[in-house]
Amino acid sequence: MISVLVVDDDFRVARIHTGFVERTEGFTVVGSRHTGAEALTAVAELHPDLVLLDLYLPDLFGLDVLARLRSSGADCDVMVISAAKEIEAVRGASRQGIVDYLLKPFGYDELRDRLERYAAHRHLLHEGEVHGQDDIDRVLARRSPTTPNALPKGMSPETATLVERTLRDGGESLSATECAEAVGISRVSARRYLEHFCSTGQAEVRLRYGTTGRPERRYRWLT
């Protein structure tokens, strides 16, 4: 489980974001804070893997919180979630190594997609080794997956890479549920990637009929 600290000055918004995170498979919220000082203390005490950080806090600007986290050596990633559209804010956050920047307001699907992209990226970084330049480029977000086909909007190269590897190593075939469990994403998301690979001709899907109910869709890598 990836532990998350939610930081937002609005209690209601923080509660909504907490609910979004808890709905996303593989993530759990370890705390919610509403000021910069509270966020810094919580990171030191709770050691979250990821901080969802608003920039407009009552005592400190979010980028100042981020700078203090970096200078203190805090071992956590930060995803900015803010209404701040100023290019200076975006550049400043990027320079300090954020993993993503999501503008308010947004729906659950938008945050879920970015959390799943983060989880896939984190998985690549924690594998211990890379298999070639393509893996390095994906970790650095320079290149899409091994296929030259562009990914549809909302899909990430990191997650596509993990789904591809899982399908390649899956033996004869995998269901969307089996793929989702192996990668650590939702079944719905896994099926989106699997169907994409089928549409590009890199994978195929076959129906396996049981005694009752709908037939199961089984996917197999081709190339």
The verdict on residue 114 lying in a domain is: no
Domain end marker among 52, 81, 106: 106
The verdict on residue 194 lying in a domain is: yes
Q: Domain containing 158: what range?
A: 123-221
Peptide bond into 215 cis (omega under 30): no
For 34-56, what is each residue's pLDDT tens digit?
A: 999 999 999 999 999 999 999 99
The verdict on residue 117 lying in a domain is: no
Q: Are 31 and 57 in contact (CB under 8 A)?
A: no
CATH code of the domain in which 40 resides: 3.40.50.2300
CATH code of the domain in which 128 resides: 1.10.10.10
CA-based torsion, 182, 81, 89, 96: positive or negative:
negative
The verdict on residue 144 lying in a domain is: yes
Band of pLDDT at residue 142, cut at 50, 70 and 90 = very low
For 48-100, what is each residue's pLDDT tens digit?
A: 999 999 999 999 999 999 999 988 989 899 999 999 888 888 888 888 889 89
- Quick one: 93 and 128 in the same domain? no
Instruction: Measure the CA–CA gap between 12 and 8, rounded to whole angstroms.
Output: 9
- Quick one: 130 and 158 in the same domain? yes
- Quick one: 102 and 136 in the same domain? no
- Quick one: 102 and 127 in the same domain? no
